[in-house]
C-alpha cells in the first residue's frame, strides 16, 4: 500500500477516539451539520473526485454503518463502495511479482552480441548469426535472432550487404588525397592563399605553397612540386578530391592524371563531400591565423610550415588511435602511469600558443 494512503488512514484513525469521547448532543449536532454541508456540496458539483486515501477511509467506515444507511451517509452508491473494497482485495493478493509462464526472455548480453555481429558483418543474416552464436557456445533459436534484429531496426542481410560510405572510404583511404585552399589575412589586411593537401589514410598534411595571387598557372606549378614530393607514393594513389574552383584547371588535373590519379570533383556548395580536408583547413585556421598576426607571405610560409611539422609529428588523431600522422609505431596499450616517477616537459610553439608535452624519467 502506498505511503500516502497509510499516512491518511492513520491520521483519520487518530480522530476516532476524540469523537467517541465527546458528548452525544455535541456529536449529534456535528453529524447534522456535516450532513447539511454534504447535501449543499452535492447540489454544487455533478461528480465527486476521490483520492485513493479517501476511498480506503470510506470503505473502512462502511463496515461500521448499516447498509440501509449508506445512501444517506455516503455520496456514492453501495455498488461503488463494494467495488472499492474489491480493488483493495485485488491489490493485496496480486501475483504480478511471480514469474510469468513461458520461456525466459533473451539475456541483454546475448542481444548486444547479436547486434554486434550484425553491425560488424553486413552480409550475415539471422541464420548465419545463429550459427556463429552456437559455435561460441550460445545456443539460440533463429527466430529469436530475427526478432532481436527486427526490434533494433536492422534490415535483412540482402538489404544491408553493401558497404556504407564510411566503410567504403575507410577501405579506399590509402589511395585518396584531397586538396583545398586556406585564406589568411596579414596585418596590413592583405589576403594570402595557402594550398594544402592531406592524405586520407595517414592524415599527413602538406603545404603546397602560399601566394597572394593564386592563378591557375601558379596552382599547376604547385601540383608539379607536390607530385615530386609524393613521388614515392604516387604509385599507390588513385583519387584526388578537390572542389570546382576555377584555379583547378585541366593543366592541374593533367599533372596527377599522368600518374593514373583520377580527379574527383565535389558537388557545388557541399563542403562535407571533402570533409577530411575541410576539417584540416578549419584546424589550421583556428590554431594559427585566428590566434596570431601574419606579417607577410614569408612569415605565413614559416608559420604554416612549423605548424604542419607539429601537426604531422606530434598532434594526436582520433582516427589513428591518438597517434600522429608520421608515427609508424603500433598504438600502445592503455596503462596507468605513476606520474611521480616521471617528469612532464613542455615544449612551447609560437610563443606558447601551442604546447607539446613529453614524458622524461
To the nearest whole number, what is the mean pLDDT of the chain? 81
What CA–CA distance (Å, rounded) separates 228 from 225? Answer: 5
Give every CB contact of residue 69 below 8 A, 6+ residues apart in sequence: none
DSSP string, 117-169: HHHH-TT--HHHHHHHHHHTT----HHHHHHHHHHTTPPPGGGS-SPPHHHHH
What CA–CA distance (Å, rounded) separates 17 from 13? Answer: 8
The answer on pLDDT for 308 being more than 90 is yes
Alpha carbon 219 to its chain centroid, in Å, reads 41
- Mean pLDDT: which of 14-28, 207-221, 317-331 is highest? 207-221
**Residue whose cell numbers read 612532464:** 344
Mean pLDDT score, 285-291: 89
Residue-wise pLDDT for 40-77, tens only, equals 776 677 666 777 777 777 777 777 777 777 766 776 66
Q: Between β-strands 262-265 and 239-242, what pairing exists: parallel, antiparallel or unpaired?
A: parallel
At residue 92, the pLDDT reads 72
Please state the pTM of the whole predicted model: 0.56
Query: Could you tell me where the DSSP H helices lie in the chain?
Result: 3-21, 24-44, 52-61, 70-73, 78-92, 108-120, 126-135, 142-151, 165-172, 216-229, 250-257, 275-287, 297-313
Mean pLDDT score, 19-28: 63
What CA–CA distance (Å, rounded) separates 288 from 185? Answer: 12
Give every CB contact of residue 218 below 8 A, 6+ residues apart in sequence: 209, 211
* 249 DSSP 8-state letter: -
Give every CB contact of residue 331 below 8 A, 6+ residues apart in sequence: 321, 322, 323
The answer on pLDDT for 257 being more than 70 is yes
Task: Write out the three cell numbers for 351.
Answer: 610563443
Mean pLDDT score, 18-44: 67
Task: Write out the three cell numbers for 109.
Answer: 548480453
Task: Write out the three cell numbers for 341.
Answer: 616517477
Residue-wise pLDDT for 159-192, tens only, equals 666 666 666 667 777 889 999 999 999 999 999 9
CB burial string 188-218: b at 16+ within 10 A, e below: eeeebbbbbbbbbbbbbbbbbbbbeebeeeb
Quick check: helix, strand or coil at residue 274?
Answer: helix
Q: What's the full length of the chain, in residues? A: 361
Q: Lowest mean pLDDT: which of 126-130, 153-157, 337-341?
A: 337-341
Q: What are the phi and psi torsion angles at 336 (to 5°)?
A: -95, 115
Quick check: helix, strand or coil at residue 52?
Answer: helix
Residue-wise pLDDT for 194-239, tens only, equals 999 999 888 999 999 999 999 999 999 999 999 998 888 888 888 9
At residue 195, the pLDDT reads 95
At residue 296, the pLDDT reads 94
Which one, of 45, 73, 43, lies nearest residue 58 by Cα?
73
At residue 251, the pLDDT reads 93
Mean pLDDT score, 315-327: 84
User: Confidence band (pLDDT; 50, 70, 90) for 88?
Assistant: confident
Task: Write out the three cell numbers for 241.
Answer: 578530391
What CA–CA distance (Å, rounded) separates 107 from 269? Answer: 48
- Mean pLDDT: which of 21-25, 217-221, 258-262 is highest? 217-221
The answer on pLDDT for 326 being more than 90 is no
The answer on pLDDT for 1 being more than 60 is no
User: Confidence band (pLDDT; 50, 70, 90) for 317?
Assistant: confident
**Residue whose cell numbers read 598557372:** 217
Mean pLDDT score, 8-23: 61
Amino acid at each position: 500500500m502506498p505511503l500516502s494512503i497509510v499516512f491518511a488512514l492513520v491520521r483519520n484513525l487518530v480522530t476516532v477516539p476524540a469523537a467517541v469521547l465527546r458528548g452525544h448532543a455535541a456529536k449529534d449536532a456535528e453529524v447534522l451539520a456535516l450532513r447539511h454541508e454534504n447535501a449543499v456540496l452535492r447540489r454544487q458539483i455533478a461528480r465527486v473526485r476521490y483520492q485513493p486515501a479517501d476511498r480506503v477511509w470510506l470503505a473502512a467506515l462502511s463496515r461500521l454503518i448499516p447498509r440501509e444507511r449508506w445512501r444517506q451517509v455516503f455520496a456514492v452508491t453501495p455498488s461503488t463502495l463494494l467495488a472499492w473494497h474489491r480493488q483493495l482485495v485485488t491489490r493485496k493478493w496480486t501475483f504480478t511479482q511471480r514469474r510469468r509462464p513461458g520461456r525466459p526472455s533473451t539475456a541483454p548480453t546475448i542481444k548486444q552480441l547479436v547486434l554486434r555481429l550484425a553491425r560488424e558483418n553486413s552480409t550475415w543474416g539471422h541464420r548465419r548469426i545463429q550459427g556463429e552464436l552456437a559455435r561460441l557456445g550460445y545456443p539460440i533459436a533463429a527466430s529469436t535472432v530475427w526478432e532481436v534484429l527486427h526490434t533494433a531496426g536492422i534490415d535483412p542481410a540482402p538489404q544491408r550487404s553493401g558497404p556504407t560510405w564510411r566503410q567504403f572510404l575507410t577501405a579506399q583511404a590509402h589511395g585518396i588525397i584531397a586538396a583545398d585552399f586556406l585564406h589568411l589575412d596579414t596585418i596590413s589586411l592583405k589576403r594570402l592563399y595557402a594550398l594544402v593537401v592531406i592524405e586520407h589514410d595517414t592524415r599527413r598534411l602538406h603545404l603546397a605553397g602560399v601566394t597572394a595571387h593564386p592563378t591557375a598557372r601558379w596552382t599547376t606549378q604547385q601540383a608539379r612540386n607536390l607530385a615530386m614530393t609524393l613521388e614515392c607514393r604516387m604509385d599507390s594513389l588513385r583519387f584526388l578530391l578537390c572542389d570546382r574552383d576555377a584555379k583547378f584547371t585541366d593543366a592541374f588535373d593533367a599533372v596527377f592524371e599522368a600518374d593514373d590519379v583520377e580527379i574527383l570533383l565535389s558537388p557545388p556548395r557541399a563542403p562535407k563531400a571533402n570533409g577530411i580536408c575541410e576539417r584540416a583547413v578549419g584546424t589550421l585556421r583556428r590554431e594559427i591565423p585566428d590566434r596570431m598576426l601574419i606579417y607577410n607571405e614569408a612569415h605565413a610560409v614559416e608559420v604554416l610550415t612549423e605548424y604542419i611539422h607539429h601537426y604531422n609529428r606530434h598532434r594526436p588523431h582520433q582516427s589513428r588511435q591518438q597517434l600522429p600522422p608520421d608515427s609508424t609505431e603500433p598504438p600502445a596499450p592503455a596503462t596507468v602511469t605513476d606520474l611521480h616517477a616521471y617528469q612532464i616537459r613542455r615544449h612551447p610553439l609560437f610563443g606558447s600558443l601551442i604546447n607539446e608535452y613529453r614524458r622524461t624519467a
